[in-house]
Amino acid sequence: QQPVQSPQAVILREGEDAVINCSSSKALYSVHWYRQKHGEAPVFLMILLKGGEQKGHDKISASFNEKKQQSSLYLTASQLSYSGTYFCGTEGAGGTSYGKLTFGQGTILTVHP
């Protein structure tokens, strides 16, 4: 089942912060975050594994709550280059889900000067 992302869209001014949430109805092994610019392929941001720590680099970080089957992506001091559609991809725990990602519907982030 497709994970649910919220919000559907966010509009920010440069320097503002944003949080994007990803929620799944099934047990997860990992959560992957990608950013896609219009007309381009998704670009990998980070992966969070079950039992792993919160990840982050520069001003983008993410957390993974395994019990709640939720992940959040945190963007701080946003830059114009952060604009795009953010997707979470979830990998189910065990069974035939191994290695396969199911993507959320996406969150459109727009950063204005």
DSSP state of 113: -
Q: Among 1, 13, 41, 51, which residue interacts with another protein (rule: CB under 8 A)? A: 41
CB of 88 to another protein, least distance (A): 10
Verify binding: residue 93, another protein, rule CB under 8 A.
no
Verify binding: residue 101, another protein, rule CB under 8 A.
yes
Rounding to the nearest 10 degrees, give the CA dihedral for residues 48, 107, 25, 100. -60
CB of 36 to another protein, least distance (A): 8
Of 6, 16, 20, residue with least CA distance to 74:
20
Question: In the stretch 45-74, what mask flags binding to another protein with x, by CB under 8 A?
Answer: --x-x-------------------------
CA gap 50, 10 in Å, rounded: 28
Verify binding: residue 44, another protein, rule CB under 8 A.
yes
CA gap 31, 5 in Å, rounded: 12
Q: Identify which of residues 63 and 76 has a Cβ nearer to another protein in the complex.
A: 63
- C-alpha distance from residue 42 to each of 33, 64, 65, 110 (Å): 9, 21, 24, 16
Could you list the residues that contact another protein (CB under 8 A)?
2, 30, 32, 34, 39-44, 47, 49, 87, 89, 99-106
